[in-house]
A and B are shown apart, each in its own frame.
Chain A
Amino acid sequence: MSAPVLVSLAQVLLVLLGAPLLVGAMRRLRARMEGRTGGGVLQPWRDLLKLLRKAPLHPQGTGAAFRFAPLLGVACSGVAAAAIPLLSTRTGLGAGADLIAVVALLTLATAALALAGLDTATAFGGMGASREMTITALAEPAVLTAVCALAAKVGSTNLPAIVAATLSHGARPASPANLLAAVALAVVVLAETGRLPVDNPSTHLELTMVHEAMVLEYSGPDLAMVELGAAMRLTVLLGLWSALFAPWGITTTADPARLLLGLAAFAGKTLLLGCLIAAGEVFMAKVRLFRVPELLAGSFLLAVLAVSASFFLA
């Protein structure tokens, strides 16, 4: 097997194993800051293993959409993890590692989960699916516009090419276009991973929930897959954001020693971003659902400004 393919496999494995740990660390930090002890960093892994041992149970009348959504979620995040240059820009997908393709993959997982929510035919499932689709429909224009700003400078939407170009310019991500695109994408990452202020990840059975409402009917191994998929999605999106705007430590070769360095840098950056989100959430309240479009319109505006800045300023 060639080295780039091995790099991609290593990235998938890293995200698969590391994602629950990241979620555990974030929950732990949040609990500590709120004055609780909280479960350990390994708690999400314990929960996953417990859920995997249970008997699979499907609600009456549900079909293929409900069955396959959890697996599709994990698979989409896995392919995205293989495509994004998390450790090295020499990933195994080559020209297929397109920024637009990665965004489309992550949206596919969202759409599959929304269909599953509709498939259960419960009030909560439908409500959650409709909210999730509203948020996604508003977030996607912002993502694609921000992508345009980043791709315009490099002349390609290929992810490894964008990251390699940033690295070869002496890693100067501080241009105004990058700054604006970074803020725009950060808001979108929060919306797409269902964190505060768009969705509260720690609620069950609340009228305002979005992600939890869709997955309310899942149990056992299916729930384990849903949770693993959500954790991997968070890790992949944080990895994507840091690869685009803070690509320090990502190597352009497939040299093992540099890969290890890249691994340490990736773990450090992702953990830092995750802790920043968790710490921010302690001080933040969820915005009203009707104000979410405002938040995402702001993100879209910043993305448009990034595009105009990348064309006119630099």
Chain B
Amino acid sequence: MSNRAELLDLAAGLFLLCAVAILWRRDVRAQTAWLSGQGIALAAIAAILGAQDARPDLYGVAAGVALLRAALLPTLVRRAIAARAEDRESAPLINVGASLLAAVALVLLAYTVAQPLVRLEDTPAARALPVGLSVVLIGLLILVTRRKALSQIVGFLLLDNGITAVAFLAAAGVPLLVEFGVSFDLLLAVLVLRVLTARMRNLFGGSDLDEMRELRD
């Protein structure tokens, strides 16, 4: 196996490890730290793919990914927590042990459904594709099992990291323009969610989504 394929495997492994750690930790601040780590791993995947195909524009994408997903978005979430200390615990609906076991099943599912895709083109990038799919599924799991709005933002970011990773690995990198568009969307979504969380706190005194029972105009 070539050196680059090994590096790609390592970056994909770290990417998955960060997703598991986010599921593992209850403290949202620790989760944001792991989210930064995952952003770096994602940027590394983009950079390695760029080096592999000799495409300098992918380095630009990698730099953008690192800036946005490793620095900007985790900082935004962290500042939202700093505003209110009691939102630090993520208050999962099912206990962490059970959600970790659910994650085992999800990862195996991702590996199984990705088999035909891997068989299409047996490159290192295609072999790492199930990792991206597993992160998408783990992000969905966090989205549906966490009660607090902030930890749902974390789940949403995880989901989007997974989607981006799948895009990188399946399409051998995304054009710079598309990546910029997606990043901008993501940034806006997180900003809007932050404003929503702040308004929820002002109205109800907490960000527990279970307490929102009806929609009003």
A interface, CB within 8 angstroms of B = 172, 174-177, 179-180, 183, 293-294, 297-298, 300-302, 304-305, 308-309, 312-314
Contacts and interface: CB of A to CB of B under 8 A. Distances in A.
8 contacts: A174-B10, A176-B12, A176-B16, A179-B17, A183-B17, A297-B97, A301-B100, A313-B127
Given A298-B20, A301-B101, A308-B108, A314 B10 contact: no
B172 interface: no
Given A176-B9, A176-B10, A313-B127, A302 B101 contact: no
B13 A313 contact: yes
Interface residues of B, number: 26
B16 A175 contact: no
B1 A313 contact: no
Contacts of B162: none
B6 interface: yes
A294 B94 CA distance: 12
Contact of B6 (A172, A293, A298, A300): A172
Contacts of B103: 301
A119 to B, nearest CB: 31
A297 B98 CA distance: 8
Interface of B: 1, 6, 9-10, 12-14, 16-17, 20, 24, 95-97, 100-101, 103-104, 107-108, 111, 118, 127-128, 130-131
Contact of B97 (A172, A177, A294, A314): A294
Contacts of A177: 13
B108 A309 contact: no
Contacts of B20: 298, 301-302, 305
A294 B6 CA distance: 31
Contacts of A297: 96-97, 100-101
Given A312-B130, A313-B13, A174 B6 contact: yes
Classify the interface of chain B: helix, strand, loop or mixed.
helix
Contact of B9 (A293, A300, A302, A313): A313
Nearest to B12: A176
Given A305-B107, A312-B111, A313-B127, A298 B10 contact: no
A177 B130 CA distance: 14
B24 A308 contact: no
Contacts of A313: 9, 12-13, 127-128, 131
A149 B101 CA distance: 18
Given A294-B95, A298-B100, A314-B9, A305 B16 contact: yes
Nearest to A309: B13
Contacts of B127: 312-313
A302 B10 CA distance: 15
Contacts of A183: 17
Given A176-B12, A183-B17, A302-B17, A294 B100 contact: yes
A147 to B, nearest CB: 17
A134 B22 CA distance: 25
Contacts of B16: 176, 180, 305, 309
The 8 closest A-B pairs by CB, nearest first: A176-B13, A297-B97, A297-B100, A298-B24, A294-B96, A301-B100, A294-B97, A304-B104
A184 to B, nearest CB: 10
A174 B2 CA distance: 13
A176 B95 CA distance: 27
